[in-house]
Chain A
Amino acid sequence: MSNTKPLNIYGTELNSRLLIGSALYPSPQVMQDSIRHSGAQVVTLSLSRQNPQANGGASFWEMIQSLGLHLLPNTAGCHSTQEAVNMAKMSRELFQTDWIKLELVGDDYNLQPDPIELVKATEILLNDGFKVLPYCTDDLVIARHLVELGCKVIMPWGSPIGTGKGLLNPYALQAIRDRFPEITLIVDSGIGKPSHAIQAMEMGVDAILLNTAVAHAHEPVKMAQAFAKAIEAGRLAHEAGPMNERSTAIPSTPTLDQPFWHQINYG
């Protein structure tokens, strides 16, 4: 691993800055292999009605446990504060973690987070002892509300879930980064390619959470490795500090004492 600074999630320090989802893989084996090769130390999962005919989800649960990673349950599919709070409480009981990726759908067309319900649910859950990782849009003012409530992590979208469009509004993300330098900032959705992840990491985003970009790659295990390298490279670049962009060319080779064999005699 590189010598980059660790990622901090509510006091838990992690070496990997990639958080990975457990859904949409072509097979359970590919899921396990992809997650392992990603180097991620946090895996997201969810809850649904139990289907006893499908063994109650026990085999998935055993697979996830065998990975030995930090679990980040989500509240995907919740539309109201009450639904999300219930789901968070069930997740805490089942998964024995107070981390919750708080998702509240505001519109079914693009799965855009509902900022009003999100802020309400965040306050209730923080007061109940949860460590809330809210999935939000890139709106600076919503980010401010979440931070003022006590969130130590916020997770704005790059673009809508599953679109793979990358960072639609880098300016907005940069504004959140610059305004809240102490907050752990994770881009949570819309990353499609490793180059998108590098762009975010170079901007100073602390980590990337993704799922579809790996699970729907033609070779998910290889793509998991590609993202691991990209995110590490982007972080290294951020810590190293990129050069300033210029409008005019400046020679990189020293010109002092250069021999004059390229001189043309126009006389």
Chain B
Amino acid sequence: MNITLHINDNPIDVPQNSTLLDAVTAFGALPPFALLLNQNFIPASEHASTAVQENDRIEIISAIQGG
């Protein structure tokens, strides 16, 4: 059974028992990145152990130019 998440505002279906890392890998995230789950920072050490749930909102964040 699948659940629907939103990653960077894009809907994506993943298996129900997926972890945060499973979900962003399925989305095509390219390391290095940092993650927000429902606007909360999740450290990299917890990506593979954090479960995701229906309607979770995930942000994949990486480096850009800045002033």
Contacts and interface: CB of A to CB of B under 8 A. Distances in A.
Interface of A: 21-25, 31, 44-50, 52, 55-58, 60-61, 64, 73-74, 76, 82, 86, 89-91, 93-95, 161, 210-212
A22 B67 CA distance: 6
Contact of B65 (A22, A58, A90, A93): A22
Contacts of A76: 66-67
A50 B30 contact: yes
A241 B65 CA distance: 38
B8 A44 contact: no
A50 B67 contact: no
Given A47-B61, A50-B61, A61-B62, A212 B67 contact: yes
A47 B64 contact: yes
Contacts of B59: 49
Contacts of A52: 27-30
B61 A56 contact: no
B58 to A, nearest CB: 10
Interface bracket on B:
20 to 34
Given A50-B29, A50-B33, A86-B41, A94 B66 contact: no
B32 A46 contact: no
Q: Which of B40, B59, B61 has the most CB of A within 10 A?
A: B61
Contact of B66 (A22, A50, A55, A82): A22
Contacts of A46: 63-67
A50 B65 contact: no
Top 7 A-B pairs, shortest CB-CB distance: A46-B66, A56-B30, A21-B67, A211-B67, A90-B34, A23-B65, A50-B62
A91 to B, nearest CB: 8
A210 to B, nearest CB: 8
Interface in B18-50: 27-36, 39-41, 43-44
Contacts of A50: 8, 29-30, 33, 60-62
Given A55-B30, A90-B34, A48 B62 contact: yes
Contacts of A93: 34, 43-44
A45 B65 contact: yes
14 contacts: A22-B66, A45-B65, A46-B66, A47-B34, A47-B63, A47-B64, A48-B62, A48-B64, A49-B60, A50-B60, A50-B61, A52-B30, A73-B66, A95-B63
A90 B29 contact: no
B67 A57 contact: no
Contacts of A82: 39
A64 B29 CA distance: 20
A45 B66 contact: yes
A72 to B, nearest CB: 9
Contacts of B35: 90
B46 to A, nearest CB: 11
A24 B41 CA distance: 28
A44 B66 contact: yes
